[in-house]
Each structure stands twice: as structure tokens, then as C-alpha cells.
Amino acid sequence: MYNPSLKSLSEMLVNPAEAIKPQENVFLRKLAAGSILFLADIIVLSATILVTLIARDNFLPGDVDLNKYLDIFPLILLLFPAIFFLRGLYPGFGIDVIEELRILTYSITFVYAILATLSFLVKDAWDYSRIAFVLSWAIAVLTVPMGRALVRKLFSHQNWWGVPVIIIGAGNSGEQVIKSLKKHPQIGLRPIVAIDDNSDKWGYIENVPVVGGMEVIPQLVERLDIEQAIIAMPNASRSKKQEIIHNYSKYFKNTTFIPDLYGISSLWVSSKDLGGIVGLEVQQKLLKTSSQIRKRIFDIALAATLSIFALPLIIIIAIFIKIDSRGKVFFKQERMGKGDSRFNIVKFRTMHYDAEKRLSDLLAKNKELKAEYEVYHKMKNDPRLTRVGRILRKYSLDELPQFWNVLKGEMSLIGPRAYMPWEKYKMNGHEEMILKVKPGISGLWQVTDRNASSFEERNSTDVYYIRNWSMFLDIYIVARTIAVVLSGKGAY
């Protein structure tokens, strides 16, 4: 909690509309963020297309007339931003990263479809390189989201990034909303004030002033130029909610309601129209047969490709392991698979041959380390690791042989953690859901908290992934995995 001076707190409670400092004009904030994203998109798309054409001209037979492409370049650079703008991507505040990835993929594909159609309608359509066309599309689908992610990383902590949002309700739900938006500034929704009729709630939450009552909303909206509200009062009475909606939602362009979902995670709940009645539909997306087929195709295509490129590195690592310490190059261990089956996971050996004896001796001498190991099932400064093993663990290179498990159909590239059989009895009921799908080399918990999360938190994150699965979530996790692995942060 933030502790303001008595004077500032008194001024805020007496006259909140005057005491709270106005933000920059919302239009200018949107214009600034939208302009930067626009420039980033243009730069990334231009570089992608030009690099693809130059590569095509230099590495494949036949000449490419760059002047012919320069003639249509203005059309290309006009179409992309126009479609992005129509899809709400400038500035795209309030759109989560997975949804943005989905919109970008469909939008880029749509623009390339338009260009393909136009090119085939003109007389000299066959003069354009189809290889360069398809390759630039594939690269653009990857590079444009990466460019936007970089922009948000660089600018989302600036005061001018995002639009002001008012939170109606300062109870547990309101506090969670404020903390979540503060933690994820890249979303672009900046809570600047919370409203609650309960005077016990007045004060500050995460530096955000909490004032009351509801009657100050019109003044705050006018003075602070607020266009969006989030109503976070799931436990309020029906009459209270109706009163707020009827009297105050008219002051906002957008109003979001936080319902009482009884602890249900957000993404796997969607609204459903039942003949004029709103229902909430709960899904387990990865349990669908169609989802598993699409995921398997994705696994085979990407694992086969990555295996080919990783083969030289795998050979080099194997040589270093053999030189560094006594024992085999590869390590096999029984893990639980889909349907509670058993399979041997394959990794590079990272531990000494007498690893378990070293562990038991250490835990017997140190109660603190024993407690840490029981919570995380891992430990920092693990004495079992070899010199090469520490490096492999830091950058997750010990996982490379698991591509073989993926190609055999025992694992997925992305999925829940591959748990050991004895861990089943510590999963507190989550095992029923987790064991319905294949485990993954990487997963959602690895790219969020990695090794910093507890065993229980990893279980919950795995269940969350299964219920929220989409191809775009997998693509996002693959991209995040690469970034996390290269950084080497959080691994041990």
C-alpha cells in the first residue's frame, strides 16, 4: 500500500476531482503510441520484403527485377497499415498479446491474399517471384509481432503510454484488476482512480487513489478525460449493479464488467447468446480432437525442422559431455504421458554419475535446502550438476534430445510439464486434467516464472494452459521460450 501525506489524502477525499492530477490528452496518447507502432510496422515490413527479395536474387536461379517490386511498394505499404487500423491495432490498447498475434496473422495473410489476387489479374503476374512472395509472408507473420513487442517493451513504462481507466469497486476484485494492469503496462490500460462507496476502502491501492462515492464519477470523467471503466464488483447486489450500469455507464465509451467466476480462469470462459440470455461457456480447448490433430501437425513440422538445424549443436554438446565427466551422454528417465502412460524422456546428462547420493547427503545435512527441494523439486547451486551440465541447464540445451520424443508422439513441443510418476500423488487433483494431454518440452510456466514458481503453481499453470489452448498461444510460447532461453534467466 502507498502511504501518502495526511494533507494530500485529505485533499483527495474532500475534492477528488480537483486533487487527482489529469493525464495527457487521450487523443494525443493514442496518436503517439499509434504513430510509433505504425512506424515500427512499416520498417519491419519494408525490411522483410527487401531482405526476402535480395535473398531470392542472390541464392536462387533467375534474376529478380527489384524495380518492378518498387513500383508496387507504395501499394503494399498502404494496404498493411490500412487493414491494421481497421482491425483496431493502432494503438491497440486493451488487446492482449495472444489476441494481437491472432489479429496480426489473419490481417497479414489477408493482405497477401489481396496482393496475390491483384497480381494474377494483371498481365505480367508471372514476372513476380512466388517463392519470395510466400517466404516474405511467412517471415512477416513472425517479424511484425516481434517488432510490436519490442516497441511495447521500450515504451510501455512511459507516462504517456496507454489510456486512463477508472475502476469502479475497490474490494478484492478491484484490487486484483489494479495490480494486474499495473503489472502489465503493455496492455495500455492505466488505472488512475478507483471508486467505492465504502469509506473503509478510501486511500490508495498501488499508488492509485480510491475515492467515493459514485456521484463523483461525472466530475472525474470530465476532468481526467476518461473513456473506459472497469466495474469490479462481482459480489454486489443485482440492484446495485443495475444502478451503476443505468446511472454511470453512459459516461464511458467502453465499460468492462468483472463477473464472479468462482475462481475460474479468464480466457477459457466465453459469452454465449442463449436466445437473448447471456450464458458463460466453459471450455477445455486442448481436449478437443480437432485441436489435438492441429497441434500434432504443428509438432511434427516444427520438431523435424528444428532437429535438422540443431544436429551440429547436438554433436558438439555430446563431445563436451563425454570429455567433461564420467558417464553416458544421454540421460533417460521415466515420465508420465498422455492417459497416465509411461515413457522414457531423453535429455543430455547434466549430473554426475553419483548424483542421487550427493543429493541425499546434502539434504540430510541441510534442512533449509531440504525444505526448498520439497517445495520446488529443484534447488539452486545443485551439487549434482557437472560443469557442462550447469551451462546446459542455464540455456535449456539439455532438452534438445527431446525432439526425438516429440517425433515419436510421446511429447509435444509445448504442453504441461513432463512429471515423474511419484509426483502424481502431490498434484492435488490437477493430475486428472494434466494427464489427458501430452507433456511438452516447454510450456506456459517455463516462460512466465520458469523455475521460480512452486510445484503447486506449476500444476495450476499447466491446467490453465490446457483450458486456454490455441495455436496462437503455442506460437507465443515458442517465441517466449527462445527469448527466455537466450537470456538464461531463472534457470537452474
List C-alpha distances in Å: 175 to 5, 178, 249, 268, 447: 21, 5, 20, 22, 25
Q: Does the structure show a pLDDT above 80 at 331?
A: yes
Answer yes or no: do 341 and 429 share one domain: yes
User: Distance between CA 260 and CA 233 in Å, rounded?
Assistant: 8
Q: Which helix (H) or strand (E) holds 78?
A: helix 66-86
Residue 224 lies in a domain: yes
Of the candidates 260, 281, 304, which is a domain's last residue?
260
CATH number at residue 172: 3.40.50.720
Range of the domain at 256: 6-22+160-260
CA 54 to chain centre: 33
Sign of the alpha-carbon dihedral angle for 249, 254, 257, 258: negative
Domain stops at, among 155, 177, 197: 155
With 70 as the cut, is the pLDDT of residue 1 above it? no
Task: Give the pLDDT score at 272.
Answer: 66
| Cell 494452459 -> residue | 465
Is 284 inside a domain boundary? no
- Looking at per-residue pLDDT, the higher value among 119 and 405 belongs to 405
> In this predicted structure, what is the pLDDT of residue 343?
96
Q: Which residue has the cell 517479424?
A: 143
Indicate whether 266 belongs to any domain: no
Asked whether residue 95 falls in the same domain as residue 71, the answer is: yes
Residue 415 has pLDDT above 90, yes or no: yes
369 domain residue, yes or no: no
Handedness of CA 195, 198, 201, 203 (dihedral sign): positive
More confident residue, 329 or 235: 329
- Is residue 185 scored above 80 in pLDDT? yes
Same domain membership, residue 69 and residue 15: no
Compute the distance between CA of residue 83 and CA of residue 45 in angstroms, rounded to an integer. 14
Q: What is the pLDDT of residue 143?
A: 92
Summarize pLDDT for 53-76 with one digit per residue, the tens.
888 777 766 666 666 667 778 888
Rounded to whole angstroms, the Cα distance separating 146 from 101 reads 10
**pLDDT computed for residue 240 by the predictor:** 85
User: Is the confidence at residue 16, as pLDDT, over 70?
Assistant: no
Please name the residue ranges forming H helices in 184-288: 217-224, 238-248
Average pLDDT over residues 318-324: 94
Domain stops at, among 155, 178, 201: 155
Long-range CB pairs of 249-256, under 8 A, 24+ apart, other chains included: 251/217, 251/218, 251/221, 252/166, 252/221, 252/226, 252/227, 252/228, 253/227, 253/228, 254/94, 254/227, 254/228, 254/229, 255/228, 255/229, 255/230, 255/231, 256/228, 256/229, 256/230, 256/231
Question: Is the confidence at residue 153, as pLDDT, over 70?
Answer: yes
Q: pLDDT band for position 124 (50/70/90)?
A: low
User: Which region among 78-92, 122-136, 464-478 has the lowest average model confidence (pLDDT)?
Assistant: 122-136
26-63 pLDDT tens trace? 889 999 999 999 999 999 999 998 888 888 777 766 66
pLDDT above 50 (res 315): yes
Same-domain pairing of 139 and 222: no
- Kindly state whether residues 298 and 418 are assigned to the same domain: yes
The closest alpha carbon to 4, from 197, 172, 211, 160, belongs to: 211
In-domain check, residue 268: no
Judgement on whether residues 140 and 187 belong to the same structural domain of the protein: no
3 state SS of 163: strand
Q: Are residues 17 and 147 in the same domain?
A: no
Q: Are 255 and 227 in contact (CB under 8 A)?
A: no
Written as nine digits, the cell of 210 is 480510491
- Find all residues with CB under 8 Å of 267, minimum gap 6, and list them: 98, 464, 467, 468
**358 in a structural domain:** no
Q: Is the pLDDT of residue 448 over 50?
A: yes
Name the residue with higher pLDDT: 483 or 330: 330
Residue that wins the pLDDT comparison between 157 and 59: 157
Same domain, 319 and 245: no
- Whether pLDDT at 407 is above 80: yes
DSSP state, residue 346: E
For residue 269, the model assigns a pLDDT of 63
In a domain, 378, yes or no: no
Q: pLDDT grade, residue 410 (50/70/90)?
A: very high
CA separation, residue 129 to residues 58, 314, 317 (Å): 13, 36, 40
pLDDT of residue 381: 72
d(CA 53, CA 485): 31
Q: What would the pLDDT profile of 194-220 be if each residue is shown by its tens digit?
A: 999 888 888 889 889 998 778 889 988
DSSP bridge pairs for 271? 280
Q: Based on the domain organization, do 122 and 197 belong to the same domain? A: no
pLDDT tens-digit profile of 421-445?
Answer: 998 888 888 888 899 999 999 998 8
Question: Do the strands 440-442 and 412-414 form a parallel or antiparallel pair, or are they unpaired?
Answer: parallel
DSSP-assigned letter for residue 414: E
State whether 392 and 472 are in the same domain: yes
- Is this prediction's pTM over 0.95? no
Domains: count for the chain: 3
Asked if residue 349 has pLDDT above 60, the reply is: yes
CB 462 within 8 A of CB 445: yes
pLDDT tens digits, 358-397: 777 777 877 777 777 766 666 677 778 899 999 998 888 9
pLDDT on residue 156: 93
pLDDT at 2 over 50: no
Average confidence score pLDDT of the chain = 84
* 227 and 344 inside one domain: no
| CB-based contacts of 269, cutoff 8 Å, min separation 6 | 261, 280, 281, 282
Q: Which of 30-34, 205-209, 261-265, 446-450 has the lowest mean pLDDT?
A: 261-265
- 492 found inside a domain: no
Say whether both 135 and 198 belong to one domain.
no
